[in-house]
């Protein structure tokens, strides 16, 4: 366990260095602001162009919150799979890391943690922009903080294990590995109702959305921040679930994903050693 | 012109054209040899476009907005191609050790970049067509081809200006190391926003839209939307003919600027020893 914690801590530090030391702190700060704000402003303008209403409507807050929280999906999910690509193909250090006395599973978790930290900066900036500039109808006093905390812990845990699943899959790939994380994040953006309720999806696509832990994470997050009634009114297909049931589903889904990720990771690691994929460089 | 001089010019032109073909070759042939890119480069990006379509549906937008998103989504492929497969390409080539070979070869860096553009256009157009086709089949978007000749002309001029800009970027990327990756990453969403990839650019107001028009895709996209949809002109920023005129000007400026920028940056990179540097 000590070795696992050490691997996690060192990988987090390494990941943070890779993410932030490519430039001076000022440019890094600008980079951290511009990208998430531009992302969210695309949706804000799409919303304004059509509705011509102010930003105090509950639907606007529903969309905005989902999009802000989704930054974590992009960061963590893509971050873990990129760690494999970066270390193996770009820096060509994966083989050295692998033979060092670390727990590889926790090493990749640590790299995901670094992306969580940079993602948190983006989420904070996006939410701050929403509250201060766009006047989001969110009262800090009205937020159900314990429920929000539980939702965040479970949601981020599910993201971490999904990231490890993706990282393990990336380890097996020789082609298109660089687009896998972004593509999966793009698919989940559609399926889990990040910016619209699942009811808008065609009936044949909805079951996929209901099978994803992220759907329940985003819904519980919205209930904690916007209030259960407002969220239920916008998303009727999840309205039948109580707040407790949402968290329970999220917990079970996270546990199932964790078990799957551990077994899949072990299989992938074993196969990578057999096939010589740990030190593979494809220049693809 | 003396016969010998003419022969030298002809040889130079031939070498320039052969370099374009040689650099385009691996991209086109590679795409044909390994078909898995069709899934990764067409189906998966479509899902992101679909998310914006459903967002518009959720807020009960008129159907022409779905068409705007589909065309915008298709054109993102070209912007990404310029950023990652052209501008940042010299950084990857430096990393892989190819850049020094390009410089040492008796050919022009501009021809190599043009080859990248030609090769990249093949794959990128496939992706764009797939998104357009999916928009038509899955979301029932109706395109009007009444002005197809003007549409084609607009597309070609937009691409000339866009890839000219890509060559200017490439010259700057020649000097960069690890930051090249981050700068390319940074130039995605802000450009999607400023150029109105998912909404009519005139929604940004005259001055912001005018400033954004320095990016060729802003006016190219706006003109193509006006030509593709019957209600397009009501959502357009400027008159189509004026937009085409500005795009011609941008194409000339960027292609000319890229020649000077590449020569200058190549010289500077040689002086500063950046061509062989592999700062990771």
Instruction: Nearest chain B residue to A177 by CA: give it.
Output: B40
The residue of chain A with its CA nearest to that of B98 is A283
Count of A-B CB contacts under 8 Å: 104
Confidence of residue B247 (pLDDT cuts 50, 70, 90): very high
Rounded distance between C-alpha atoms, residue A203 and residue B196, angstroms:
30
Sequential DSSP letters for B172-213 = HHTT-STHHHHHHHHTSHHHHHHTTSSS-GGGG-HHHHHHHT
DSSP H helical ranges for chain A:
2-20, 25-51, 58-72, 78-85, 94-99, 104-132, 145-171, 177-191, 206-210, 213-226, 228-234, 236-239, 243-275
A45 contacts B199? CB cut-off 8 A: yes
Residues of A with Cβ-Cβ distance to B56 under 8 angstroms: 46, 50
Does residue B211 register a pLDDT over 90? yes
Of the candidates A22, A42, A189, which has its C-beta nearest B192's C-beta?
A: A42
Residue corresponding to tokens 């200006």: B161
The per-residue pLDDT for range A135-191, each reduced to its tens digit, is 888 888 888 999 999 999 999 999 999 999 998 988 888 776 667 777 888 888 999
Rounded distance between C-alpha atoms, residue A235 and residue A62, angstroms: 10
- Pick among B53, B55, B81 to test the A interface (most A CBs inside 10 A): B55
Residue A49 to residue B199, Cβ atoms within 8 A? yes
Q: If residue B1 lies in a helix (H) or strand (E), which one and from where to where?
A: none
Shortest distance between the Cα of A246 and any Cα of chain B, in A, equals 23
**Residue B129 falls inside a structural domain:** yes
Range of the domain at B57: 3-271
Domain-located, residue B278: no
**Sign of the CA dihedral running A99, A103, A109, A114:** negative
B123 is a domain residue = yes
Domain count, chain B: 1
Sign of the CA dihedral running B7, B9, B12, B13: negative
Asked, for residue B208, whether it belongs to a domain, the answer is yes
pLDDT tens-digit readout, B117-157 = 888 888 788 888 888 998 899 888 888 888 899 999 999 99
B213 within some domain = yes
Cβ burial A198-212 (10 Å sphere, 16+ → b, else e): bbbbeeeebebbeeb
Please give the residue of chain B at the shortest CA–CA distance from A60: B59
Q: What is the mean pLDDT of chain B?
A: 86
Cβ pair B51:A49 closer than 8 A: no
DSSP per-residue letters across B230-263: TTHHHH-SS-HHHHHHHHHHHHHHHHHHHHHHHH
Selection from A136-150, B82-96, B178-192, B236-250 with the highest mean pLDDT: B236-250
Distances (CA, A) of A200 to A43, A62, A206, A236, A242: 17, 14, 9, 10, 21
Q: CA A190 to CA A201: how far, in whole Å?
A: 9
Least confident of A9-23, A197-211, B198-212: A9-23
Highest mean pLDDT, choosing among A233-247, B97-111, B237-251: B237-251
The answer on pLDDT for B215 being more than 90 is yes
| Interface touch A196/B54, C-beta < 8 Å | yes
Interchain contact, A179 vs B57, CB within 8 Å: no
Binning pLDDT at 50, 70 and 90, where does residue A58 land? confident
Residue B170 lies in a domain: yes
Residues 155 through 214 of chain A touching chain B, CB cutoff 8 Å: 175-176, 179-180, 183, 186-187, 189-190, 194-197, 200-201
Is-contact B149 B242, C-beta < 8 A?
no
Distance between CA atoms of residues B105 and B107, nearest Å: 5
Which residue of chain B has the CA closest to A191?
A: B51
């Amino acid at each position: 366990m000590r070795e696992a914690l050490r691997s996690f801590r060192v990988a987090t530090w390494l990941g943070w260095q890779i993410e932030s030391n490519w430039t001076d702190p000022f440019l890094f700060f600008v980079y951290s602001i511009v990208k998430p704000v531009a992302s969210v402003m695309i949706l804000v303008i799409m919303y304004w162009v059509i509705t011509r209403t102010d930003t105090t409507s509950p639907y606007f807050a529903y969309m905005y919150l989902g999009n802000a929280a989704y930054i974590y999906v992009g960061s963590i999910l893509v971050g873990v799979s990129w760690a494999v690509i970066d270390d193996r193909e770009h820096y060509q250090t994966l083989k050295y890391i692998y033979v060092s006395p670390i727990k590889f599973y926790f090493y990749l978790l640590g790299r995901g943690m670094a992306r969580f930290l940079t993602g948190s900066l983006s989420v904070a900036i996006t939410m701050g922009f929403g509250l201060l500039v766009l006047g989001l109808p969110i009262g800090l006093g009205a937020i159900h903080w314990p429920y929000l905390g539980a939702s965040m812990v479970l949601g981020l845990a599910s993201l971490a294990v999904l990231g490890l699943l993706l990282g393990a899959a990336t380890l097996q790939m020789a082609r298109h590995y660089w687009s896998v994380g972004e593509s999966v994040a793009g698919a989940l953006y559609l399926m889990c109702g990040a910016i619209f309720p699942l009811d808008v999806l065609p009936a044949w696509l909805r079951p996929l959305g209901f099978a994803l832990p992220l759907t329940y994470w985003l819904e519980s997050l919205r209930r904690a921040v916007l209030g259960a009634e407002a969220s239920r009114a916008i998303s009727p297909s999840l309205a039948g679930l109580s707040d407790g049931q949402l968290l329970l589903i999220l917990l079970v889904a996270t546990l199932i994903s964790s078990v799957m990720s551990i077994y899949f990771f072990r299989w992938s690691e074993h196969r990578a050693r057999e096939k010589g994929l740990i030190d593979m460089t494809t220049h693809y | 012109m003396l016969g010998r001089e003419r022969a030298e010019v002809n040889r130079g032109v031939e070498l320039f054209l052969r370099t374009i073909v040689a650099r385009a070759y691996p991209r086109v042939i590679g795409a044909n040899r390994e078909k898995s890119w069709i899934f990764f480069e067409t189906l998966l990006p479509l899902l992101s476009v679909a998310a914006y379509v459903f967002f518009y549906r959720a807020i009960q937008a008129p159907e022409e907005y779905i068409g705007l998103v589909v065309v915008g989504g298709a054109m993102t492929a070209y912007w990404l191609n310029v950023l990652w497969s052209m501008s940042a390409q010299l950084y990857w080539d430096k990393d892989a050790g190819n850049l020094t070979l390009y410089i040492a070869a008796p050919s022009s860096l501009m021809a190599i970049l043009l080859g990248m553009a030609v090769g990249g256009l093949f794959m990128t157009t496939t992706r764009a067509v797939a998104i357009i086709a999916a928009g038509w089949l899955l979301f029932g978007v109706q395109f009007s081809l009444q002005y197809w000749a003007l549409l084609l002309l607009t597309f070609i001029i937009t691409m000339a200006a866009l890839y000219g800009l890509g060559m200017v970027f490439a010259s700057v990327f020649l000097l960069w190391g690890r930051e090249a990756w981050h700068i390319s990453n940074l130039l995605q969403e802000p450009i999607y926003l400023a150029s109105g990839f998912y909404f009519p650019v005139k929604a940004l107001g005259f001055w912001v839209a005018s400033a954004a028009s320095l990016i060729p895709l802003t006016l190219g996209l706006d003109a193509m939307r006006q030509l593709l949809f019957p209600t397009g002109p009501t959502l357009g920023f400027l008159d189509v003919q004026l937009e085409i005129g500005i795009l011609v000007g941008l194409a000339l400026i960027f292609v000319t600027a890229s020649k000077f920028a590449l020569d200058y940056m190549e010289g500077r990179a040689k002086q500063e020893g950046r061509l062989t540097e592999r700062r990771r």
